[in-house]
A and B are shown apart, each in its own frame.
Chain A
Amino acid sequence: MSGVSNGVVVDCAGVSRTYQEDAVPVHALRSVDFEFSRGDFVSLSGPSGSGKSTLLNLIGGLDRADAGTISVDGVVVDGLSESELSDMRLHKIGFVFQSYNLIPVLSAQENVEFIMQLQGVAPAERAERAVETLASLGIGELAHRRPGELSGGQQQRVAIARAIVTHPVLLLADEPSANLDSATTEELLKLLRRLNDDRGISILTATHDPMVMGYAKRRVVLRDGAIVEDSAN
Chain B
Amino acid sequence: MPIKLLFQMSVRNILRHRRRNGMMLAAVVVAVAAVVMMNSLIRGMQQDMADAAVENLVGHVKVLAPGYRDDPGIQKNFELASDWRPPDGVPEVAGWAMRVRVPAVIMSERGTRGIQFVGVNPQQEGISFLSSAHMTGESLKDASDGRIIIGQALAEQLETGLGRRLVIITQGADGLNREAGFRIAGLYDADGEGMEKFFVFTGVGALQKMVGADVFTELSIRLHQEPALFVLKETLVELFTGLEVLDWRELEPQAAAMFIFADAAVLIWFFVMMGALVFGLVNTLVTSVMERIRELGMLRAVGMRPRSVVAQVVIESSVLMLIGVAAGIAGGLAGILAMGDGLDLSAWSEGVQSFGMRTLLRPVPLADDVLLIAFLSLGLGVVASLYPAWRAIKIKPLEALRR
Direct A–B contact in complex, judged by CB atoms less than 8 Å apart: no
Enumerate chain A interface residues (CB-CB to B < 8 A): none
